[in-house]
Structure 1
Amino acid sequence: MSLNRRELLGGAAALTTAGLLPRVALAADTIRLGSILDQSGPFDAYGKPMAMATQLAVAEINEAGGLLGREVEVVAYDTQSDMALYSQYAQQLTRQDRVDVVHGGILSASREAIRQTMRKTGTLYFYNVLYEGGVCDRNIFINGVTPAQQVEALVPYAMNNSGKKVYILAADYNYGQITARWIEKFVRDNGGEVVGTDFFPLDVSDFGSTIAKVQTAAPDLVIAPLVGGPHLSFFRQWAAAGMKDKIALASTTLGVGNEHKVLTPEEGNGIMCAYNYSQELDTPENREFMARWAAMFDGDQSMHEIAVSHYHGLHTWAEGVRKADSIEREAVIEALETGVSITGPGGKVTVDPQTHHAILDVHLMEMRDQKMAVIETLPQRAPIDTQAVCDLGANPDDNTQYEIEI
């Protein structure tokens, strides 16, 4: 199910008039929450479920009485996977719509386009997506996993199940480039060797020559931080070439947009990954979340890692507002910096005051029959990579994305 802009603009008020939720008596003036996401274009597989997560979380907040006795209203824009529109809509949300907080962005480039506008206008910003780490900015809170939380766990697990020789295939922008360096570090730390690294623009979909190169290098394991629909072609072509059962595969991105449900079992089975969320998590919180999602969206089950991270971010912000007893930016920041926690479908999520990143569970997984089977849970992993370069208590005016020395 997709959400159009008119539907999202109505926020929870539209939901109540549709008869999905009981009307709650709230004050007339609303708290305005800005949303900027790719709901169409090449990245809509990520953005549409994130928009649905926004709708669900806001409906839950309003059903519980809103915040400060006021209803939360969503003001949303579809960037159509166009980076230029992120800057345009960020300006519009802050200067014309005058929202109280913004949640949005998917790729790192979109985050940076939003982040500087939010700083200039004094608007609180939440970025709720796994990324390469290193952002140090007191005006932003980040709920996605970083390499020290995810890659550090995945690499030894994957190597123990395959061998010490690793080949890296990564998206050619800052996420892929920086993540590839983290992979190399953790391969070395675990006694392994990187025998090759290749980078691919986001529109590349032909991996025939690359697969031949990998065959020649003869690694034990390929780790693939590849991003987006065209890069999904690699996994299909790898299986078609008869390589899936010869050389093990792991990925830091496959599955975050439910790509494992697009691949056939023959193409996807056995691929290893590590994320904060899987639909297969057998916890009361996840079972309840999935039931609420299905009830709101007519049986839909498109929730994924990034959508759930976004959902966590929305409820973390709401908890900060409650603790602050205010919507004012500085008051909410100070409240969140006390180490606010929520428990959601991915487990417990706690704000790290030093970096404004999340402390969270990471689950080692393997793809089996279009599902991400949970093998092991590593509880409450801290963003130690970003902690090494960022201390917002000591340097509250910092405004840097550090390329962490690896």
Structure 2
Amino acid sequence: MKFNRRNFLKSASGALAYASAPSLLASAGLANEKPIVLGNILDQTGGLNIYSLQQIKSTALAVDELNAAGGVLGRPLQLSFYDSQSNNQLNAQYMTEALVRDEAVVVHGGVTSSSREVMRPIVKKFGGLYFYNSMYEGGVCDPRLVCPAMVPSQQLKPLVPHVVKNMGKRAYILGADYLYPHTMADWIKQYTQDAGGEVIATEFFPLDVSNFASAISRIQAEKPDVVWSVLVGSAHNAFYRQYEATVGKDNIPLASCMFGIGREQTYMSSEESAGIVNATSFHDGLDTDAARSFLQKFQDFTGEQSYVGDYGELGYRGIHLWALAAQKAGDSSADAVIEALPGISFNSPGGPVTIDSATNHAIMDIHLVEANHNQGWDHLGTFEQLSPVDPNATCNLTG
């Protein structure tokens, strides 16, 4: 069954159900088995939906893939999906509904740190399990939270030294005005200093700001060697267009730990995006069998040729990591899966991913990339099996 809006959004109540096609379940011997319900809370609409659209599809793809292989513990998987609309009140409401009304054994979702933090106490209250398939600032230590995505040390350890060496030592940072960009700016400053550079200025902007003329004027006056973007969301995309029309990357290059995560390079002209460098746990140009196989599955499932990207892959890896832990536990309940999670490993499209027993974060490969003129990324190198150093410094779930 090909994924489309009609077959995914078909519930009469608040949750929108996705179940594999009856023919698929029948051929897998699952037609008469009671489904295991997985919650999925993501922004299908709202100002931050650019990070969720492909993840919604890849999550459903993983469910279909597991069901075709016989389900989990001999039962089919079914998604209860909620559109959180970039609204934290809805994130809280829907987490409660997923765990209590729909009896979801696990919930995958959330984009921002604030969305995670309004949902996490609800997960604790009801004894649930929460997979936060989104990069974030690190530091959360919670046995009921699993983070399969990058934290700052993993992304910036390879990226910042590359920027200092190849773009220059004097850096200017622009970021969105909330927790994640503030924390990332601190990490960029630290790694820049460690590499022999300096951050000469840092500015933050509300998520709805789309006019960066004054900031660009200050950049032109300061003349840094490189500008870092930790800007987030649809409104902030305007910065890249305004920057290229004024300063230009040929004059002062751009580095980012966010650009491309929401597939921004596919919305920009090649002149606006080409040359921006980043580091990621997956990109569509990755030259491995696992990456190519995943992209083909995604295209077959959706009928689309569109760029998938990091956040699309994260939803897929999150579902598979949960399924492996449930199979190991022999029980899909939250507490049983939590006990089975340490050391669980999945050969994801971006490379092997293993859940670190002390933190419930992930050990993974990180890929250094540069945006090209074809709305994609050139691969500059892979740093294998980086540990989540920052959570390891503050968290020990085994102690």
Letter in 2 for 1:204: V
Letter in 2 for 1:247: I
Letter in 2 for 1:163: G
1:129-208 aligned at under 5 Å gives the runs: 129-208=134-213
Letter in 2 for 1:360: M
Secondary structure in structure 2 of the residue aligned to 1:6: coil
Letter in 2 for 1:12: A
Task: Provide the residue aligned with 2:354 in structure 1.
Answer: 350
Task: Provide the residue aligned with 2:282 in structure 1.
Answer: 277
Secondary structure in structure 2 of the residue aligned to 1:388: helix
Kindly provide the CA deviation profile for residues 4-55 of structure 1, in whole angstroms up to 9, marking residues without a partner as x. 5327944333xx24x6787321252111100110001212221121110111
- Structure 2: gaps spanning 5 or more residues: none
Deviates more, 1:171-180 or 1:302-311: 302-311
- Given candidates 8, 28, 46, the residue that maps to 1:24 is 28
Structure 2 CA distance for partners of 1:211 and 1:22, relative to 1, 3 Å: farther
Secondary structure in structure 2 of the residue aligned to 1:131: coil
- In the alignment, the residues of structure 1 paired with residue 310 and residue 347 of structure 2 have an alpha-carbon distance, to the nearest angstrom, of 15
When normalised by structure 2's length, the TM-score is 0.95
Task: Provide the residue aligned with 1:6 in structure 2.
Answer: 10
Q: Number of residue pairs matched? A: 390
**Percent pairwise identity:** 41
Secondary structure in structure 2 of the residue aligned to 1:195: strand
Deviation at 1:109, TM superposition (A): 0.7
Structure 1 residue runs of 4 or more that deviate by more than 6 Å after TM superposition? 19-22
Structure 2 CA distance for partners of 1:21 and 1:161, relative to 1, 3 Å: farther
Superposed CA RMSD in Å reads 1.5
1:6-405 aligned at under 5 Å gives the runs: 6=10, 9-13=16-20, 16-17=21-22, 23-26=27-30, 27-337=32-342, 339-369=343-373, 370-394=375-399
- Structure 1: gaps spanning 5 or more residues: 395-406
Deviates more, 1:1-10 or 1:238-247: 1-10
Deviation at 1:83, TM superposition (A): 1.4
Deviates more, 1:206-215 or 1:23-32: 23-32
Are 1:143 and 1:310, in contact at CA under 8 Å, matched by a contact in 2? Answer: no
- In the alignment, the residues of structure 1 paired with residue 143 and residue 9 of structure 2 have an alpha-carbon distance, to the nearest angstrom, of 30
Secondary structure in structure 2 of the residue aligned to 1:253: coil
Deviation at 1:215, TM superposition (A): 1.1
Task: Provide the residue aligned with 1:401 in structure 2.
Answer: none
- In the alignment, the residues of structure 2 paired with residue 147 and residue 43 of structure 1 have an alpha-carbon distance, to the nearest angstrom, of 20
Are 1:290 and 1:301, in contact at CA under 8 Å, matched by a contact in 2? Answer: no
Are 1:10 and 1:73, in contact at CA under 8 Å, matched by a contact in 2? Answer: yes
Structure 2 CA distance for partners of 1:22 and 1:45, relative to 1, 3 Å: farther
Deviates more, 1:302-311 or 1:317-326: 302-311
Are 2:284 and 2:307, in contact at CA under 8 Å, matched by a contact in 1? Answer: no
- In the alignment, the residues of structure 1 paired with residue 16 and residue 84 of structure 2 have an alpha-carbon distance, to the nearest angstrom, of 15
Kindly provide the CA deviation profile for residues 307-348 of structure 1, in whole angstroms up to 9, marking residues without a partner as x. 2112111100000001111112222111111x0100011110
Secondary structure in structure 2 of the residue aligned to 1:280: coil
Deviation at 1:161, TM superposition (A): 1.0
- In the alignment, the residues of structure 2 paired with residue 374 and residue 22 of structure 1 have an alpha-carbon distance, to the nearest angstrom, of 42
Structure 2 CA distance for partners of 1:289 and 1:22, relative to 1, 3 Å: farther
Kindly provide the CA deviation profile for residues 334-368 of structure 1, in whole angstroms up to 9, marking residues without a partner as x. 1111x010001111000000000010000000000
